[in-house]
Amino acid sequence: MRILIVEDEHKIANSIKKGLEQESYAVDVAYDGSLGYDLASTEDYDVIVLDLLLWLEHGWPHNIGSHLEHGKSFFLVLCQ
């Protein structure tokens, strides 16, 4: 399973990544919304863990709709 984490707080992103990798998941991290958007648009992820504020700042609602329509990814949205 391939997972993308989009989170600008490095400590949070790295903690999530470490835990997932310990469970043998393949994990990519984007520390800003633009890079996350680009990765999600060009790569195939099974799950995208996304910071809500980055979602709203970088036009993610349209991207999420595209992923969901094609059954490409599940999303977990982080709120603080």
**Predicted TM-score (pTM) of this structure:** 0.78
Q: Which two tokens stand for residue 7?
A: 């989170």
Q: What is the reported pLDDT for 80?
A: 61
Length of the chain: 80
Cα–Cα distances (Å) from 80 to 9, 55, 77, in that order, read 11, 13, 10
Q: Which two tokens stand for residue 43?
A: 């790569």
Q: At the fourth CATH level, which superfamily is domain 2-78?
A: Response regulator (3.40.50.2300)
Cα–Cα distance measured from residue 17 to residue 49, given in angstroms and rounded to the nearest whole number: 10
Q: Are 13 and 29 in contact (CB under 8 A)?
A: yes
Q: What is the reported pLDDT for 51?
A: 82
pLDDT (tens digit, 0 to 9) for every residue of the chain, 80 residues total?
Answer: 999 998 999 999 999 999 999 999 999 999 988 888 888 888 888 888 888 776 666 555 555 555 555 555 666 666 66
Residue with tokens 């982080």: 78
